[in-house]
Amino acid sequence: MFSILPASSLFPAITIAEEKSIFKGRVLDIEEKPVEGAEIFIYSSPDVRRPADFMSARTDKEGRFSVGLPTGKYWAVARLRKGTERYGPLMPGDKHSGEPVEIYLTPNSEIEKDFTVVDIREVTRLKKKIREDYIKIKGRILDKNGSPVKMVYAIANKNKVIAEMPDYLSAWTDDEGYYTLYIPRGKYYIGYATVFPPGHEYSLNTGAVFETDKSDMDIITNSE
C-alpha cells in the first residue's frame, strides 16, 4: 500500500480515484545503506524553498517509499531530520539529497527513483568535488527534421561498444528537447536512448574529446 500525506492543510488530500501514477524508490545513505524515517518532499515547480505540495510517508527499514500522485511533472527531494520539526531550514545533523530530481508521471505509470541523503556539510563538499571533477555537456535532442524530441535520454560512453547500460545518462529531455550530462573529462561517444533502462537499445555517434563545458552539443536521432 502507498499513502499520501498532504504537506499542510492548505493542500487537499488526493482521493484513491485520482491516484493514477506511482512514484516509488529507496532512500540510501552515502554508503548505500537503507535510511529509515526519511521523507520525500514533492513539488509542482522547481522552487523547493517552500512547503511541499505532497509528502511521502516515512521510509521503512529498507528505506523504501511509495507515493500515489496525479499525472504531471514534479520535482522531488529526500530529507531526514534529527528533530521533530518537519518544516523550516535544515539544521546540522539533518540529511538531504541535494538538488531536486525532476520526474514526469504519465497516466497509470510507475516510476522508480533512489535518493542518497547526506549531511548538509557533506553536500557542500560533494558539490565542490562535482564542479572540480566533472564537466557539463548541454544541448538538444532533435529528429531528422530538426524538431525537438522530448522524454528521451542523452548518453555518453567511454567506448563505442553497446553494453547493458551506458556509462553516463541524463534525465529526460524537456518539451524543447534539452538535456544536461555530467561527465569526467576525456573522450566519449555521445548518443541517445528512448527507454529506461536502455538495455542494449541505444545509439552512439562519433567520439569526441571533452575537456571543458559544452553548451551546444545537439544530438540527431534516426526518427522523423
Question: Any idea what the CATH number is for the domain that residue 174 is in?
Answer: 2.60.40.2190
The domain boundary, picked from 81, 116, 151, lies at 116
140, 76: one domain: no
Neighbours of 125 (CB within 10 A): 11
| CB-based contacts of 161-167 (< 8 A; 24+ apart in sequence) | 162/200, 162/202, 162/204, 163/200, 164/197, 164/199, 164/200, 165/197, 165/198, 165/199, 166/191, 166/193, 166/198, 166/202
pLDDT of residue 83: 55
Contact residues for 134 (Cβ-Cβ < 8 A; gap 6+): 182, 183, 184
What confidence score (pLDDT) does residue 171 get?
80
Question: Is residue 125 in a domain?
Answer: no
Whether the predicted pLDDT of 209 surpasses 80: yes
**Domain shared by 57 and 87, yes or no:** yes
Is the pTM value of this prediction over 0.85?
Answer: no
On whether both 89 and 136 belong to a single domain, the answer is no
Distance of alpha carbon 211 from alpha carbon 224, whole angstroms: 32
Would the pLDDT of 100 be above 90? no
The answer to whether the beta carbons of residues 133 and 184 sit under 8 Å apart is: yes
Burial class, 202, CB count within 10 angstroms (exposed 0-12 / middle 13-18 / buried 19+): buried
94 and 34 housed in the same domain? yes
The reply to whether 25 and 48 lie within a common domain is yes
pLDDT for 122 equals: 57
Q: What is the CATH number of the domain that holds 30?
A: 2.60.40.1120
H-assigned helices in 52-181:
120-133
Regarding whether 42 and 141 lie in a shared domain, the answer is: no
Task: Place 39 in a pLDDT band, splitting at 50, 70 and 90.
Answer: very high
197: cis peptide before it, omega within 30°?
A: yes
The x, y and z cell numbers of residue 20, run together, are 493514477
Q: Are 41 and 79 in contact (CB under 8 A)?
A: yes
- Same domain membership, residue 112 and residue 9: yes
CB 155 within 8 A of CB 198: yes
Q: Are strands 178-184 and 134-142 parallel, antiparallel or unpaired?
A: antiparallel
Residue 104 CA to residue 217 CA, distance in Å, equals 24
* pLDDT tier, 158 (very low <50, low <70, confident <90, very high otherwise): confident
pLDDT on residue 15: 43
Domain of 182 in residue numbering reads as 131-220
Query: CB–CB of 171/189 below 8 Å?
Result: no
Number of domains in the chain: 2
Cα–Cα distance for residue pair 47/69, rounded to 1 Å: 18
Residues 36 and 105 occupy one common structural domain = yes
Q: Are residues 12 and 111 in the same domain?
A: yes
3-state secondary structure 125-139: HHHHHHHHHEEEEEE
Average pLDDT over residues 114-130: 66
- 117 pLDDT exceeds 70? yes
Question: Which residue, of 116, 142, 157, is where some domain finishes?
Answer: 116
Q: Say which range, 19-28, 96-105, 118-127, 188-197, has the weakest mean pLDDT.
A: 118-127
Q: What is the mean pLDDT of residues 3-30?
A: 62
For residue 42, being part of any structural domain is answered with yes
CB atoms within 10 A of CB 129: 10
